[in-house]
């Protein structure tokens, strides 16, 4: 197959299809009416969102801009979940009035609810984001450790109870709880803890809910890690079998569907040796696939240039930017100008966070079956300038 000129991202739809089919079949076998909302923040590239939509996923949004993007791409409000700590006032009320699932995160959002009529509230689908100390249940696994997550109403301090009372006193129906927890491990224990805490809260405050939203954060098809079946079996066992709670489940996958489904192709354009080092410079950049500069390892393949070329060993693979830190890693393999370096599994928290730094946003292709289709040309200076006018 003739590959396009580098650098570019390529979205492998076969991979999305197989991951989603595995996820959906195990999820729907437990919760036939359950909802799967694609997490826009994980990769907000419009073509990808539309692809997820075509497969039946709802939109999971966390800002007015993401909500507007969902509408722009043809989602109906009643296929959108609105989460997040900084919702805008008008968008929040619009979402509730038009049938979106809205998970309330803060006291100011509780106050905004009082602007709605009882008739509007009666048909609303309102949830509360629960803040609880996941670190107590899964030591060393949570993202924030002993510093606590910062979203939602704290179960332990009584703020969650106050929020529930606030709704009850005003006859505002509570439809669900949202308990996403970001973890370092994505382990089954995280989801068991979420399920356990949800059941505890439902019992403690005598709630009858339509849904429990466990958020995202799953592994997707990673060898040796929990499978979708493992996650859903574990959650179902606790919520349904052990506690007899029949609420629907909502999940908000991002990484587990798109992470492994995108590759980034680059080429080595120069090799140079300095006093202490050897550098292989590519036409790609770490800013595109590790914008937070945190990755400690990459999954990659090298496709060597054919023919007789000068190869060097022990080179540091670098990006095109003028930042000294734009270095990927030290190569084990010998490398030469013209080799292609293909970074795999770079679909999550990459494209959506890529800066327009030095080179504008790169070309993006989709691989559908054996066909490679251009889905967005590299951003031009003219387009970049238009954005700023
Ligand atoms: C509320 C919520 N839902 C879903 C996700 C998606 O998580 P992931 O991309 O790890 O699946 C996140 C990520 O932080 C989140 O905060």
Widest CA span of the chain, in angstroms? Answer: 79
Question: 3-state class of 321 per DSSP?
Answer: coil
* Distance separating alpha carbons of residues 143 and 180, to the nearest angstrom: 12
Q: Which of 145, 232, 164, 151 has its CA nearest to residue 195?
A: 232
pLDDT tens for the 389 residues of the chain, in order: 788 999 999 999 999 999 999 999 999 999 999 999 999 999 999 999 999 999 999 999 999 999 999 999 999 999 999 999 999 999 999 999 999 999 999 999 999 999 999 999 999 999 999 999 999 999 999 989 889 999 999 999 999 999 999 999 999 999 999 999 999 999 999 999 999 999 999 999 999 999 999 999 999 989 999 999 999 999 999 999 999 999 999 999 999 999 999 999 999 999 999 999 999 999 999 999 999 999 989 999 999 999 989 999 999 999 999 999 999 999 999 999 999 999 999 999 999 998 899 999 999 999 999 999 999 999 999 999 997 76
Question: Is residue 322 included in any domain, yes or no?
Answer: yes
Give the CB-side neighbour count of residue 293, counting CA atoms within 13 A.
8
Give the CB-side neighbour count of residue 172, counting CA atoms within 13 A.
24
Question: Is residue 131 included in any domain, yes or no?
Answer: yes
Q: Which residue, 230, 253, 276, sits at the end of a domain?
A: 253
CA 261 – ligand 1 centroid, Å: 17
* Distance separating alpha carbons of residues 221 and 256, to the nearest angstrom: 8
Same-domain check for residues 176 and 207 = yes
pTM for the model stands at 0.97
Is residue 181 within a helix (H) or strand (E), and if so which, with residue range? none
Same-domain check for residues 228 and 371 = no
Q: Which of 354, 121, 65, 43 has its CA nearest to residue 57?
A: 43
Same-domain check for residues 226 and 366 = no
Q: Supply the range of the domain harboring residue 193.
A: 31-253
181 Cβ partners below 8 Å, 6+ apart?
Answer: 134, 142, 143, 149, 190, 193, 194, 215, 217
Cβ distance 305 to 336 under 8 Å?
yes
- The closest residue, in CA terms, to atom 5 on ligand 1 is 216
The string of DSSP codes covering 252-288 is: --SHHHHGGGEEEEEEEEEEEE-SS-EEEEESS-HHH
Q: Which of 3, 15, 1, 10 has its CA nearest to residue 55?
A: 15
CA 307 – ligand 1 centroid, Å: 45
Instruction: Give me the CATH number covering residue 134.
Output: 3.20.20.10
Question: Is residue 17 included in any domain, yes or no?
Answer: no
Same-domain check for residues 288 and 333 = yes
CA 208 – ligand 1 centroid, Å: 25
Ligand 1 nearest-atom number relative to CA 186 = 10
Q: Which residue, 253, 268, 288, sits at the end of a domain?
A: 253
Site to substitute for ligand 1 among 42, 63, 177, 292, most atoms within 8 A of C-beta:
42
Domain count along the chain:
2
Ligand 1 nearest-atom number relative to CA 349 = 9
Same-domain check for residues 244 and 307 = no
């Amino acid at each position: 197959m003739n590959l396009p000129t580098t650098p570019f991202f390529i979205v492998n739809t076969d991979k999305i299809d197989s991951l989603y089919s595995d996820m959906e079949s195990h999820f729907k076998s437990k919760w036939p009416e359950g909802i799967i909302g694609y997490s826009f923040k994980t990769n907000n590239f419009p073509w990808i969102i539309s692809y997820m939509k075509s497969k039946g996923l709802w939109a999971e949004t966390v800002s007015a801009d993401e909500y507007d993007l969902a509408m722009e791409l043809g989602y109906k409000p009643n296929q959108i979940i609105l989460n997040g700590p900084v919702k805008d006032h008008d968008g929040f009320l619009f979402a509730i009035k038009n049938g979106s699932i809205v998970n309330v995160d803060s006291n100011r959002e509780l106050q905004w609810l009082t602007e709605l009529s009882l008739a509007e509230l009666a048909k609303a689908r309102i949830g509360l984001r629960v803040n609880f100390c996941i670190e107590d249940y899964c030591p060393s696994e949570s993202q924030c450790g002993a510093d606590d997550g910062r979203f939602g109403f704290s179960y332990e301090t009584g703020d969650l109870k106050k929020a529930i009372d606030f709704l009850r006193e005003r006859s505002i129906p509570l439809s669900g709880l949202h308990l996403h927890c970001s973890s370092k491990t994505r382990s089954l224990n995280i989801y068991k803890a979420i399920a356990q805490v949800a059941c505890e809260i439902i019992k403690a405050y005598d709630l009858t809910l339509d849904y429990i939203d466990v958020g995202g954060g799953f592994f997707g098809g990673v060898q040796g890690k929990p499978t979708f079946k493992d996650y859903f079996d574990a959650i179902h066992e606790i919520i349904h079998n052990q506690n007899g709670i029949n609420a629907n489940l909502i999940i908000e996958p991002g990484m587990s569907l798109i992470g492994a489904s995108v590759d980034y192709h680059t080429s080595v354009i120069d090799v140079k040796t300095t006093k202490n080092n050897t550098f292989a410079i590519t036409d790609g950049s770490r800013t595109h696939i590790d914008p937070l500069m945190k990755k400690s390892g990459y999954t990659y393949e090298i496709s060597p240039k054919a023919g007789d070329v000068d190869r060097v060993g022990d080179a540091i693979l670098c990006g095109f930017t003028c930042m000294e830190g734009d270095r990927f890693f030290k190569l084990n393999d010998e490398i030469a100008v013209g080799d292609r370096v293909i970074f795999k599994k770079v679909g999550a928290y990459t494209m959506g966070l890529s800066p327009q730094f030095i080179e504008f946003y790169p070309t993006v292709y989709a691989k559908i079956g054996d066909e490679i289709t251009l889905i967005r040309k590299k951003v031009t200076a003219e387009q970049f300038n238009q954005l700023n006018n």
